[in-house]
Amino acid sequence: MYLSAMKIALAQLNPTVGDISGNIARIAEVAAQHQRNVDLIVFTELFVVGYPPRDLLAEPWFIRESSKAIDQVRQLSAKFPSAGILFGAPVATHSETGLGLHNSAILVNRGEIVFTQHKSLLPTYDVFYEGRYFDPAESVSIVRFKDTTLGISICEDFWNDPELWPQRIYATDPIESLALQGAQLMINISASPFALGKEQLRYRLIRNHARKHRVPFIFVNQVGANDELIFDGRSMVFDPDGRLTHLLPEFEEAVTVIDTNWYKPADHQLVCEECEDLYRALTLGIRDYLRKCGFSKAVIGLSGGIDSAVVGALAAAAIGPENVLGITMPSPYSADESTMLAQQLAENLGIEFRIIPITPLYDAYTRYLGPQLGMRPGEINVAFENVQARIRGNILMSFSNQTNAIVLSTGNKSEMATGYCTLYGDMAGGLAAISDVPKTLVFELARYINRTREVIPIRTIERPPSAELRPNQVDRDSLPPYDILDRILHHYIEERMSIDQMVKVGLDRETVKWVVRAVDYNEYKRRQSAPGLKVTSRAFGIGRRMPVAAKYNHGDD
């Protein structure tokens, strides 16, 4: 197939949700820089409004502003006549039926809208709920632009490859339809969120489309983080043989110009290290969440344990150590070593550090609250264990109020899953930085952070985890060993396996039943937790919507 030479700028950028004027300014900036030497500039899905805009899409004023934005970009294109601009935006259908809105890719040039393609496949699984807002395209069409026939699609439209899915969600394949119509170049604009291992799946999907249809394929993906979702970029170009010819950076903005008549293997192939990806995703997620919410500083409760140490290291890397305050708050049951390790961590990171003992406050609680609860002097139970956590939460939130620093809570996915956390205590905060990171992966992440020097004290990594809310407490007194617990959680939450299925793969039935019951029972806690950064294939909250007031037995008992 003959393909006319085109120079195309791939704009892998970080839009802010709702900041329509700011996002348009980015379009204008890139267009001004590259319009003289390119034929087309490609931006990502819903770029003018940022992704995901969620229920902003249900606000009439927001759609009116979005429509004005489309017109602004159209007018802007008149200033740069040599280059077309392809971008994503919501477009009103003006139909009396349906939801009245499309997720659209719009091509403008010389002050005119040249072509509009609406999104065909609207995902409603995992973190996506596009069927709540958009109507699907009635059809897909090719467009001739600068002597090249383009097949334009939007994100999910390329995810329906029958060779990779045992059960297909959608009956149609927009990419196949565009190929049959004679598309010479496929362009997909995306806002595809990050999850560990997902980049390999995207790679295989796009490579398969290019090979199958013998058509080069351009994939331009959003980068940055919005709320719980992290976008890793990794925009890609494949030649008609399915060879990767261009790969944009992961977790950072980039604008790259490609020539469609110049194909060669990419300088580096798509090779990903899990801990490096996880580290970069979490630091990006923390940085963008704070920046886009108007915060510049963070405060963290440092216990001397591995979870708070990892969050402290991530925060220092994300926003700079000068913007992080670590506070350790020893109670009567805290080991002296814990305070020492927290201080050593703070020194290694170069962050501000304070020691605020909570024993006087805890003694006051026990003295005045104990009789009301019918407790004997010196008695300790779950209520008074949680009092310690809530005192610490109050102290952290007080510093947040006083200094306008966001509290980063430090609970991991294993704890959040089983309820091994305290409402209004260690769950207090504005962002749950590692709530989608299982405990076993927290250990691996800590070792990655220490790859070049000892940032997290080795003793923090090696000693048995403990909440230190009662004498001689360790996590294994209340939880299964973390390697077993995390394996069960992965099977149950991410793979949706039943109890019987987990037993068949070699797990103890009683342990599995205990974990499953704990996950189900503690949904009410997770419903009240801070937003958490999604890094696995199925995260609590945005990625897993379960009822709280419910009773079910999984059909296994």
Print pLDDT tens along the chain (557 aa): 556 789 999 999 999 999 999 999 999 999 999 988 999 999 999 999 999 999 999 999 999 999 999 999 999 999 999 999 999 999 999 888 999 999 999 999 999 999 999 999 999 988 999 999 999 999 999 999 999 999 999 999 999 877 666 677 888 999 999 999 999 999 999 999 999 999 999 999 999 999 999 999 999 999 999 999 999 999 999 999 999 999 999 999 999 999 987 666 665 566 678 999 999 999 999 999 999 999 999 999 999 999 999 999 999 999 999 999 999 999 999 999 999 999 999 999 999 999 999 999 999 999 999 888 888 877 788 888 899 999 999 999 999 999 999 999 999 999 999 999 999 999 999 999 999 999 999 999 999 999 999 999 999 999 988 776 777 777 777 889 999 999 999 999 999 999 999 999 999 999 999 999 999 999 999 999 999 999 999 999 888 888 898 888 776 65
How confident is the model at residue 1, as a pLDDT? 54
- Give every CB contact of residue 467 below 8 A, 6+ residues apart in sequence: 385, 389, 420, 473, 475
Which listed residue (7, 112, 119, 297) is catalytic? 119
403 and 299 Cβ atoms separated by less than 8 Å: yes
Say whether 275 is catalytic: no
Tell whether 512 is covered by a domain.
no
154 and 88 Cβ atoms separated by less than 8 Å: yes
Say whether 45 is catalytic: yes
**Please, what's the b/e burial string for 482-500 (b: 16 or more CB within 10 A of its CB; e: otherwise)?**
bebbbbbbbbbbbeebebe
Which listed residue (7, 155, 250, 534) is catalytic? 155
Same domain, yes or no: 360 and 426: yes
Same domain, yes or no: 118 and 243: yes
CATH code of the domain in which 371 resides? 3.40.50.620
Tell whether 46 is covered by a domain.
yes
Which listed residue (7, 45, 439, 534) is catalytic? 45
Same domain, yes or no: 294 and 222: no
Number of domains forming the structure of the chain? 2
Tell whether 531 is covered by a domain.
no
DSSP sequence for 461-485: HHSPP---SSTT--GGGTS--HHHH
**Rounded (to 5) percent helix, strand, coil in the chain:** 40, 20, 45
Same domain, yes or no: 379 and 468: yes
The two tokens of residue 494 are: 């991410």
How confident is the model at residue 265, as a pLDDT? 64
Tell whether 295 is covered by a domain.
yes
How confident is the model at residue 161, as a pLDDT? 79
Same domain, yes or no: 158 and 239: yes
Q: Which position has the token pair 């958009």?
A: 134
Q: Which position has the token pair 């390697």?
A: 483
How confident is the model at residue 471, as a pLDDT? 78
Tell whether 96 is covered by a domain.
yes
- Give every CB contact of residue 171 below 8 A, 6+ residues apart in sequence: none
Tell whether 503 is covered by a domain.
no
Same domain, yes or no: 241 and 298: no
Q: Which position has the token pair 């070049």?
A: 452
How confident is the model at residue 550, as a pLDDT? 87
DSSP 3-state of 144: strand
DSSP 3-state of 318: helix
**Which residues pair with residue 542 across a beta bridge?**
none
Same domain, yes or no: 340 and 385: yes
* Domain span holding position 414: 277-475
How confident is the model at residue 468, as a pLDDT? 67
Residues 57, 198: Cα–Cα separation, whole Å: 27
DSSP 3-state of 161: coil
Residues 104, 194: Cα–Cα separation, whole Å: 22
Strands 298-301 and 324-328 turn out to be parallel
- Write down which residue in 475, 496, 522 finishes a domain: 475
Tell whether 540 is covered by a domain.
no
How confident is the model at residue 160, as a pLDDT? 87
- Write down which residue in 443, 475, 507 finishes a domain: 475
Same domain, yes or no: 237 and 345: no
Number of H helices, E strands in the chain: 16, 19
Same domain, yes or no: 207 and 283: no
- Write down which residue in 234, 263, 292 finishes a domain: 263
Same domain, yes or no: 305 and 404: yes
Q: How many CB atoms lie within 10 A of CB 384?
A: 18
Q: What is the pTM of this model?
A: 0.94
Q: For the chain, how big is the Rg over CA atoms in Å?
A: 26
Same domain, yes or no: 245 and 283: no
Tell whether 510 is covered by a domain.
no
CATH code of the domain in which 203 resides? 3.60.110.10
Same domain, yes or no: 88 and 197: yes
Say whether 523 is catalytic: no
Q: Which position has the token pair 């974990």?
A: 515
**Which one-letter DSSP state was computed for residue 494?**
I
How confident is the model at residue 517, as a pLDDT? 95
Residues 316, 146: Cα–Cα separation, whole Å: 48
What is the distance of C-alpha 485 from the center of its chain?
A: 23
